[in-house]
Amino acid sequence: MSNSTGDSSSGVAWLCVRAGGHELDRIRLSREPVIIGRSKSATLQLDDERISRRHAEISRDPLGRITLRDLGSRNGTLIDGQTVTEAELSSGDSFAIGAFELCVITEGAQPFVKAKPTTVADAPNTRYSTFGAKAGRIDTTHLNTLTDFAHELLTLPTRRARLERLCHLMVDGAFHGRRAVALRMARGDSELTPQALCTPARNERLKEDYDSMPRLSRGLLSAVRRQPAPTFASNVTGGKGGGVELSIAPEQAGEQAAAAVPLRVDDESVDVLYVSFPPQFGTVEWLTLVALAAQQYQHAESTIAVQTQATRHAAIERELSQAREIQQRLVPRYPSTPGMEIAIGFEPCKWVGGDYVDVVSNHDGRTVLVIADVTGKGLPAALVASELHAMVRAFLRAGADLTTMMNGLNEHLCEYLDDRIFVTAAALAIDPLTGEVECVNAGHPPVLCIDPTGKVRPLQQAENLPLGVCQEPMRSQHDALVIGELLAMYTDGLSELKRDDGQMLCVEGLSDELAGLYRMGPTRTLGLLSGAVGDLLDAIQGDRAAEDDRTFLLGRRVAAVDSSDPEATGNSAAAAGS
């Protein structure tokens, strides 16, 4: 089933919509695809005649990877002016649809902030100068030190350790800083009480009485918070800082200069590196040097974040691969039971799926066929599907009949499932010798019986509620399957498959398609027919991303058998998420 009960995305990602230089909207990206288009049914509706009704789709997988797909639009989806049909996007990537620019932003991803040269007046007689990353006269010693510093940062285990190493670099001999500390300023803090993010560093060669925390200039911090760009100031009038004054009086902390450089900026706070210097270093050239060190720190943080994410993704991929392998082992590869020919198709839309299918030769000589669909997708639904697999086999081995088994499953799921989760299921018990069929359908799409001429006869439907909804007794239906008649069981990943025009196939459309395939080759093996069904579904799906698991079971009586064999054997299949 296509409804989802949670979001297991890796961090927060947003899709920002811009036009005319202004941000118009921002949508959080989750596991559910975002359909962009002019239609009122689109997740993100954009009003522009150049935009198709269903123009493009952007989706995010369990590993946080973001994929953009054009849905066959009339005027195309553009990246850097080039039309694309599909592309993987990273934070900061943008694409154009009609007059709109759409950009992906992930939480914590902040570019190095640059600004044009300006002088900002904070209060009478106090000014703060800001600049972009225009290099000053810095010698090779500083550049070599920064290179070594960048490599060293990648070896440090925590962000706090990297911030402290940045601060210590500022007070080392080559940089001449007196004191340095990393601070966080809340944007809404009117009192401007910054929080220290690490232990302050002090130049031990300087003989000064006050402690290692630098005297912080409120005006300088306010200026950086207001305009996040590298900023410096000096309390020496007419000094080398071009006459820029610091709001800390010389009699409080001596003559000095200070630099404040943003390290991270978001809507809630600004992290800065604050360094105090002797007054002769209050120059644009020295601010450039501090900004370069901050930039090396930012690059290291970005690199470590990517490495950490890659490691986490690799671990998740290994676990998902193992889960998929376990699930595939439960799917009957060559299902066989006396007197029955059976073929199964199973394709989860993610690593694992929430569909379950099982074939068991029961102790009474009947063949039991079960198919089920758990709400949701992925691992949560897979766990429920695996539980169904174990319980179905346990009930049958204990000698339960079909109705008792379905009532037992329902009672258990009503007791233990979350209220938002339920299971649709259909179970059949077939006597291959006589063709007698017992069917219990719990809110599942109807099982279809198709004769060689293509005539379709649905079995029980709309008689019972799905499993896990309420504890009402299950009602069964009795019917018969003649030799040569095709039995088709399926999940709604087939009946809710959409054609090119956006219309669902529905049960009626699926019935017609299956009947047509069987009518064209009623003597084909079910293995061949199963392959033809898979090809049909692929053709209808096209290049659109799968929205649900696809599971089906085809069965056919082929010959009379001795139904007195008490040995129960079976093959089964469990999968997660629909």
Residues 443-471, mean pLDDT to the nearest whole number = 93
Tokens 């009795």 label which residue?
478
Instruction: Indicate the CATH number for domain 12-107.
Output: 2.60.200.20
- Burial call 155-171: b when 16+ CB within 10 Å, e when fewer: eeeebeebbbbbbbbbb
Residue 505 CA, chain-centre distance (Å), reads: 28
CB-count exposure of residue 45 (10 Å: 0-12, 13-18, 19+): middle
Residues 411-417, mean pLDDT to the nearest whole number = 89
Fold of 331-557: Phosphatase 2c; domain 1 (3.60.40)
- 475 versus 327: which is more confidently predicted? 475
Any residues with CB less than 8 A from the CB of 311 and at least 6 apart, and which? Answer: none
Q: What is the pTM of this model?
A: 0.52
pLDDT tens, 418-446? 888 899 999 999 999 999 999 999 999 99
Per CATH, is 144-207+215-304 categorized as 3.30.450.40?
yes
pLDDT tens, 46-58? 988 899 989 999 9
CB 476 within 8 A of CB 460: yes
CB 34 within 8 A of CB 57: yes
What are the distances in angstroms from CA 89 to CA 16, 60, 81, 314, 553? 13, 10, 15, 19, 38
**pLDDT(148) > 50:** yes
pLDDT tens, 287-341? 888 999 999 999 999 888 888 888 787 777 777 777 777 667 776 777 778 889 9
> What is the pLDDT, as a whole number, of residue 277?
87
**pLDDT(478) > 70:** yes
| Partners of residue 396 on adjacent β-strands | none
SS3 450: strand
**pLDDT(576) > 50:** no
Spell out the alpha helix ranges (H) of 17-157: 140-153
DSSP assignment of 475-501 equals --EEEE--TT-EEEEE-HHHHT-B-TT
CB-count exposure of residue 251 (10 Å: 0-12, 13-18, 19+): exposed
> What is the pLDDT, as a whole number, of residue 21?
67
Residues 116-145, mean pLDDT to the nearest whole number = 49
> What is the pLDDT, as a whole number, of residue 180?
93
| Dist. CA 331–CA 111, nearest whole Å | 48
pLDDT tens, 196-233? 999 899 887 765 544 556 678 888 898 889 888 898 88
Q: How confident is the model at residue 566 (pLDDT cuts 50, 70, 90)?
A: very low
Any residues with CB less than 8 A from the CB of 72 and at least 6 apart, and which? Answer: 52, 500
**pLDDT(136) > 60:** no
Residues 551-571, mean pLDDT to the nearest whole number = 64
Closest listed residue to residue 93, CA positions, set 65, 71, 113: 65
**pLDDT(577) > 60:** no
Q: Residue ranges of the domains in the chain?
A: 12-107, 144-207+215-304, 331-557
> What is the pLDDT, as a whole number, of residue 547?
79
**How large a percentage of the chain has pLDDT more than 70?**
82
pLDDT tens, 341-400? 999 998 887 777 788 999 998 888 899 999 999 987 777 888 888 889 999 999 999 999
Residues 27-48, mean pLDDT to the nearest whole number = 88
341's tokens: 């020919």
402's tokens: 């079909």
**How large a percentage of the chain has pLDDT more than 90?**
42
For the chain, the farthest-separated pair of C-alpha atoms sits apart, in whole angstroms, at: 108
pLDDT tens, 167-199? 999 998 788 899 999 999 998 888 888 999 998
> What is the pLDDT, as a whole number, of residue 541?
86
| Dist. CA 444–CA 496, nearest whole Å | 13
Torsion-angle region of residue 125: left (phi > 0), alpha (psi -120 to 50) or beta?
left
| Dist. CA 97–CA 105, nearest whole Å | 17
| Dist. CA 357–CA 61, nearest whole Å | 25
> What is the pLDDT, as a whole number, of residue 10?
52
| Dist. CA 510–CA 517, nearest whole Å | 11
Least confident among 146-160, 271-285, 437-451: 271-285
Closest listed residue to residue 173, CA positions, set 139, 143, 206, 200: 206
> What is the pLDDT, as a whole number, of residue 549?
84
**pLDDT(567) > 60:** no
| Dist. CA 189–CA 167, nearest whole Å | 24
- 107 versus 286: which is more confidently predicted? 286
pLDDT tens, 513-532? 999 999 999 999 999 999 99
Q: How confident is the model at residue 164 (pLDDT cuts 50, 70, 90)?
A: very high
**pLDDT(134) > 70:** no
Give the CA angle between residues 431, 433, 439 to the nearest 5°.
20
Any residues with CB less than 8 A from the CB of 458 and at least 6 apart, and which? Answer: 446, 447, 448, 449, 507, 511
Choose from 73-77, 111-115, 240-244 the range with maximum mean pLDDT.
73-77
Any residues with CB less than 8 A from the CB of 35 and at least 6 apart, and which? Answer: 41, 42, 43, 44, 54, 56, 57, 71
| Dist. CA 369–CA 428, nearest whole Å | 5
Choose from 6-10, 170-174, 314-318, 559-563 the range with maximum mean pLDDT.
170-174
Give the CA angle between residues 354, 34, 469 to the nearest 5°.
35
Residues 246-256, mean pLDDT to the nearest whole number = 51
Choose from 412-426, 471-485, 551-565 the range with maximum mean pLDDT.
471-485
**pLDDT(495) > 80:** yes
3-state secondary structure 385-448: HHHHHHHHHHHHHCCCCHHHHHHHHHHHHHHHCCCCCCEEEEEEEECCCCCEEEEEEEECCCCE
Q: What is the radius of gyration, based on Cα positions, of the chain?
A: 33
Give the CA angle between residues 94, 96, 102 to the nearest 5°.
50
| Dist. CA 373–CA 382, nearest whole Å | 10
Q: Average per-residue pLDDT in the chain?
A: 81
123's tokens: 């209060």
| Partners of residue 83 on adjacent β-strands | 78
Residue type, 441: N
> What is the pLDDT, as a whole number, of residue 130?
45
Closest listed residue to residue 56, CA positions, set 577, 572, 564, 543: 543
| Partners of residue 448 on adjacent β-strands | 458, 488
> What is the pLDDT, as a whole number, of residue 174?
83
